[in-house]
Amino acid sequence: MLDPPVLPETIHTPFYCEENVFLLGEAFLSCGQEVFAVFISNEFKTVVLWNQKQSKDPQSVVVWDYHVVLWLRTSDGQNWIYDSDSRLPVPSLMKDYLHDTFREGVPRSYQSLFRVVPGRIYLENFASDRSHMHASTSLPPCYAPLRGSASAVANNLMRSFVSMVPSEETFGNVYDLSRMLRMAEA
């Protein structure tokens, strides 16, 4: 097994995981790496994740409306997850990350679904005007809102990426935890 690719220098803004993954994906793609943006949510916008920095107690969960991580697949077939909001090492092997961050058997309203979007498609089509953060007290990133070259709208974050319901407006494919675990082992 090769060592994971080193985390490139990118801007990181707390609570803007979709933009952090966009910038990280851009950096990795420019180096020829295969990456995916992985959106984690469900129809209720209440997913539980363990080992998140936002939890005061490492054994407690954090409930997010959605979360986004970067999946990198190396040329030797290793799968790595980059989640700067996790207490786990960055990067972590995908199978370890999934086992330590999610649990099977949680109530349906807290079960995670995963929208996996190939990196290039994400960078070309993502757009956010940051309006979903209107009530947040966190500071926005120091750069202008991101908008991919193929996006015809100023904001498609929630309907095209966070939504776990397939439609003509969504990108990527949606998987449950058991399918993600099988992909991590592949």
Exposed e or buried b for every residue in 28-60, given b needs 16+ CB within 10 A? bbeeebebbbbbbbbeeebbbbbbbeeeeeeee
From the candidates 3, 12, 17, 100, which is the catalytic residue?
A: 17
- Annotated catalytic residue 17: yes
Gap between the Cα atoms of 112 and 93, Å rounded: 19
Q: Which of 83, 96, 129, 176 is catalytic?
A: 83
Listed residue (84, 70, 67, 69) closest to 33, CA to CA: 70
Residue of 31, 67, 76, 99 marked catalytic: 67
Catalytic positions, please? Answer: 17, 67, 83
